[in-house]
Amino acid sequence: MALDEALLQSVQAGLALPTLRLYDWVPATLSLGYAQPLSNVDLTKLEELGWGIVRRPTGGRAILHVDEITYSVTAPIAEKRIAGGVLESYQRLSRALLKAVELLDVPAIGNKLRKKESKVSEPNPICFEAPSDYEITVDGKKLLGSAQARRKEGVLQHGSLPLHGDIGRIANALDFSSEDKRTRAADRVRQSAATVEDGVGSKISWDEAAKAFKLAFAEVLDLEFIQEEPSKHEFQLAERWESEKYATAEWLERI
């Protein structure tokens, strides 16, 4: 999260080109949305599982980052590909994301804006259990979750594509009043969300997914990529953001 923030700051200052970052997580990590209560998390179980925890600068509910490919897009506000409001730019980027999963042979569908209330009557702290605008689905199940943060001079959008594994295991780290409710929550996630493996019937590697993302973004958004590591300056910014924000109790426990 600190490096995404550093990349945003770098592109806002004109020190870097608009950037697509592709990454994964070690160890598995639970990320909370910007305004999500920490009380949604069972910190004891989280520690027992050996999972990390972080709060995102973007909204939404909890995501377990494991066995997935995570992407982030950072761009200055003047960049034409993220021009317009949140929904307009989100839809434009969603076309590239849909192309990426299609290149992986997933029979996915990109849904348009819709006003739909969740049918879940119990408290719902899990991102992949909740419907959202312009979500990408397979067999009616949510496949890829994204969120966006807009600043005065730049935009950060990031999201995660689960590649394989049990999509319902996130419930193991969240707080429920009974184990029965935990089990029901995990089952609901399995019924409403899917992985790439669910869609194609075989396991897709991170490298295969990364290649699909690069090809799709280049084609759909008419891009020519320059592949490189973050600069020394960006790593230094990330270290500062980590120490001053993302690794602090004040940020994690803000709600």
Tell me phi and psi for residue 142, to 5 degrees.
-65, 130
* CA 64, 65, 67, 68 torsion-angle sign: positive
How big is the chain by its Cα radius of gyration, in Å?
A: 18
> For residue 245, what pLDDT band results from cuts at 50, 70 and 90?
very high
pLDDT tens string 143-189: 998 999 999 899 999 999 999 999 999 999 999 999 999 999 999 99
The SS3 call for residue 90 is: helix
Q: How far is CA 59 from the centre of its chain?
A: 10
Average pLDDT over residues 51-66: 96
Per-residue pLDDT tens digits for 108-123: 887 654 444 444 445 5
Of the candidates 168, 141, 146, the one whose C-alpha atom is nearest the C-alpha of residue 67 is 168
Strand order in the sheet with 136-138: 19-23, 68-76, 154-162, 141-150, 136-138, 108-110
- Residues whose CB is less than 8 angstroms from the CB of residue 94 and which lie 6 or more positions away in sequence, other chains included: 110, 134, 136, 146
| Residues 13-53: tens digit of each pLDDT | 999 999 999 999 999 999 999 999 999 999 999 999 999 99
Q: Is the CB of residue 74 less than 8 Å from the CB of residue 151?
A: no
What is the mean pLDDT of the segment spanning 238-242?
97
Ordered by where they begin, the domains of the chain are 2-252 (3.30.930.10)
Active site residues: 127
Mean pLDDT of the chain: 91
Residue 106 has pLDDT above 80, yes or no: yes
pTM of the complete model: 0.91
- For the segment 122-141, the average pLDDT, to the nearest whole number, is 69
